[in-house]
Amino acid sequence: MNRRVTGGRLVIASHNPGKVREIGELLAPFGVEAISSSALDLPEPEETGTTFAANAELKARAAATAAGLPALADDSGLAVDALGGDPGIYSARWAGPGKNFALAMAKVHAAMGEAADRTARFVCALALAWPDGHCETFEGTVEGAIVWPPQGARGFGYDPIFRPQGHAVTFGEMDPAAKHAISHRAAAFRLLVAACFTPKD
């Protein structure tokens, strides 16, 4: 039985402002006040999981326990087929301590070399945890291809080198509303919302 979220404050267990903003926009229709881990000065737990879902659960549980509020964590990344699924759960680490995604995108490009296979996907796992330890996890993906050079300045992370399947532009060029409709995060959100949220009147 899924547990419902009925308004009030919800911690977004992330210190990534782009991710917090995007999740906050997706939650807006549900009467939830989204507050980030950084706003509450919560520490970032070490991500020791071996899957997106495991890391999302780890972060959500840590934030829910520390804040005494329900917490939503996202673990997401880019999986490139020619790189055996890398950078995968290490997508943020490829950007280094300064979160330099221009550097991370260049690393992907260099690692791929002249590989003919440009297919890739974004994966998002969302974990919703309560202070009592209850946790639910949902996963979404979006298929696409790697392009070079980076195109567009919208979105964040690897968006400028990822062109979603069936589209002529990258996530970095796409209108935010259009991206929200098809992204890996949106796919995971649809599952989360159906299970745990009720739209406000």
Of 75, 86, 117, 132, the catalytic one is 75
**β-strand pairing of 8-12 with 32-36:** parallel
pLDDT value for 131: 96
Across 84-94, average pLDDT: 96
Average pLDDT over residues 67-88: 96
**Residues 76, 52 contacting (CB under 8 angstroms):** yes
Q: What is the pLDDT of residues 17-68, one digit of tens each?
A: 877 887 888 888 888 888 999 899 998 888 899 999 999 999 999 999 999 9
pLDDT tens digits for range 136-159: 999 999 999 999 999 999 988 999
**Percent with pLDDT over 90 in the chain:** 73
Domains of the chain: 8-196 (3.90.950.10)
pLDDT of residue 18: 78
- Average pLDDT for residues 7-22, to the nearest whole number? 85
- pLDDT (mean) for 69-91: 96
Q: Is the N-terminal amide bond of 29 cis, ω within 30° of 0? A: no
Q: How far apart are CA 109 and CA 132, in angstroms?
A: 44
- Backbone phi, psi, residue 128, to 5°: -115, 115
As a whole number, mean pLDDT of residues 148-171 equals 96
What pLDDT, on the 0 to 100 scale, is given for residue 94? 97
The 10s digit of each residue's pLDDT in 181-198 is 999 988 999 999 999 988
- Residue 94 CA to residue 106 CA, distance in Å, equals 10
Residue 20 phi, psi dihedral angles, 5° rounding: -60, -45
pLDDT at position 125 is 97
User: Is omega for the bond preceding 87 within 30 degrees of 0, making it cis?
Assistant: yes
Q: Indicate whether 108 pLDDT > 70.
A: yes
What is the per-residue pLDDT for 201?
61
75 catalytically annotated: yes
Instruction: Tell me the H-state helices in 68-183.
Output: 101-112, 176-182
Mean pLDDT of the chain: 92
